[in-house]
Structure 1
Amino acid sequence: MSESTARNAALVLAVLVGACGKPVDPSGKEDATFTKASMAGAPAPTGEDRPLSADLAVEPVSMLVTFNRLKTPDKLQDALNKKPGQFSHIDLDKDANPDPLTVADRPSKDGHAFEIRVRPATGEFVVATMLFDHEWSYLGHYDGVMGGAASTTARPLPAAPQPGAPPAAPPVVATPPAVVPSAAPTQVMAAPVAPVAPTTTPAPGAPAVPGAPAAAPAVAGAVQAAPAGSAQPAGVAAKQP
């Protein structure tokens, strides 16, 4: 930034300090969580409870927006991360490197609002919300979300998702395979066996039937059936000598 640009920025901020008051809360009182634009250079707070914005060069960042015309979140974000450590010394994950910054556009009835965020390896957190009027003159900032609590080093505020951003996909839970009961064993029914008609031995002296097989010789102890209609009595075959 040239010397003339810095001098003009200081003049503009000095006018704003005298002309602009603090935003009011719902009760109509000045919002105590809002810090007006100032070039006084007050010493930054220290300790674990200091706001994250204490490690952010808020006024120089506002000059990037007002004088360098970085009036979109993407342009401002690229400028803030071009040289790590130039505008921010926030290091939430304690890796000795400044954490990258992100910028989100927030609606404001007073004009424009940029939410400056930090993104370490552990997540994304709010640093400050910077307010500009409708002509992009810097008004001041909140040490966290607009109209809300401060975001400190000990308790950084998690960043809310951007409006219209797709919801995070739910985690995939492995479903155990369903147990299918084994089929009952199939019983194979044997085909019914037709009963075998008893073979009768024709009585001695009975006429042979043409084409019929020869009668087996009588066995001792076998029952000898008499042909139907004959006068020969049935009996037990005699034992052969």
Structure 2
Amino acid sequence: MSERPARSAAFVLAGLVIACGKPVDPSGNEDATFTKASMGGQAPTGDNRPLSADLAVEPVSMLVTFNRLKSADKLQEALNKKPGQFSHIDLDKDANPDPLTVADRPSKDGHAFEIRVRPATGEFVVATMLFDPEWSYLGHYDGVMGGAASTTARPLPAAPLAGAPAPAPAPVVVATPPAVVPSAAPTQVVVGAPAPAPTPAPAAPAVAATPTPTPAVAGAVQAVPAGSPQPAAAAPTSP
């Protein structure tokens, strides 16, 4: 889109939104949480500013109204084609704009797109943009439709889309108790009691000594007891 057609489209858009009022709450009063479409004004700043303050809401509405991006998939593709072009939201603080997602929401006033941001920490609602039945932009909510605002300090978690598979539950790990090993009976120690005497080792069995025969000596005289009638005789010599 060139600069002149874009400027003309902006004036046409401004003329359309002036005539449009705010949606009403259940009591019939104008919904105070709804921000009417406007081409001017200064975005709020500070740590508690709405997430939509970091989103180029009005240029995004032009993509829908004038570029005919009237489906969530087409709008999402256009918003992420050049990261940082329409949003500089960085919830995970990695110095890179977080990718955007778009969800189609039913609206009794026409059409609604819920713009979301998806950092590494999850998916959060940025704003809900409303269009009339003819796809003229009406304004936006700073969060979910008719709900609380989503701020940089407290971003609102995005609800799962209808028909999306539910996340698988985390497996439950059951800890197995360690096996109980029976311990030996504790030894009772009495302070001051004398130490038990050591058990003596069994003695080795006694071995009977075999007497060694004394060899006879040649020329030895065999002694005869005194008073014996037997004369002394010489011991026999060994051969």
User: If the length of structure 1 is used for normalisation, what is the TM-score?
Assistant: 0.71
C-alpha distance in structure 1 between counterparts of 2:152 and 2:173, whole Å: 38
Q: Judge conservation of contact 2:17–2:137 (CA < 8 Å) in 1.
A: no
Deviations 1:154-196 (A, max 9, x none): 000000000111222111113568xxxxxxxxxxxxxxxxxxx
C-alpha distance in structure 2 between counterparts of 1:62 and 1:5, whole Å: 15
* Paired-residue identity, %: 85
Unaligned 5+ residue runs, structure 2?
177-239
Cα RMSD over matched residues? 1.5
Unaligned 5+ residue runs, structure 1?
178-241
Counterpart check, 1:173 vs 2:180: no
Query: Where do residues 32-51 of structure 1 align in structure 2 (5 Å cutoff)?
Result: 32-40=32-40, 42-51=41-50
C-alpha distance in structure 2 between counterparts of 1:44 and 1:123, whole Å: 25
Count of aligned pairs between the two proteins: 177
Counterpart check, 1:156 vs 2:155: yes
Counterpart check, 1:9 vs 2:37: no
Q: Give the corresponding residue for 1:73.
A: 72
Counterpart check, 1:25 vs 2:25: yes
User: If the length of structure 2 is used for normalisation, what is the TM-score?
Assistant: 0.71
In structure 1, give the amino acid aligned to 2:6. A
C-alpha distance in structure 2 between counterparts of 1:176 and 1:122, whole Å: 29
Q: Judge conservation of contact 1:22–1:34 (CA < 8 Å) in 2.
A: yes
Partner of 1:130: helix, strand, or coil?
strand
Q: Judge conservation of contact 1:16–1:37 (CA < 8 Å) in 2.
A: no
Query: Where do residues 116-131 of structure 1 align in structure 2 (5 Å cutoff)?
Result: 116-131=115-130
Q: Give the corresponding residue for 1:146.
A: 145
Q: Give the corresponding residue for 1:89.
A: 88
C-alpha distance in structure 1 between counterparts of 2:12 and 2:144, whole Å: 25
C-alpha distance in structure 1 between counterparts of 2:52 and 2:30, whole Å: 20
Deviation of 1:7 after TM superposition, in Å, equals: 2.5
Partner of 2:80: helix, strand, or coil?
helix
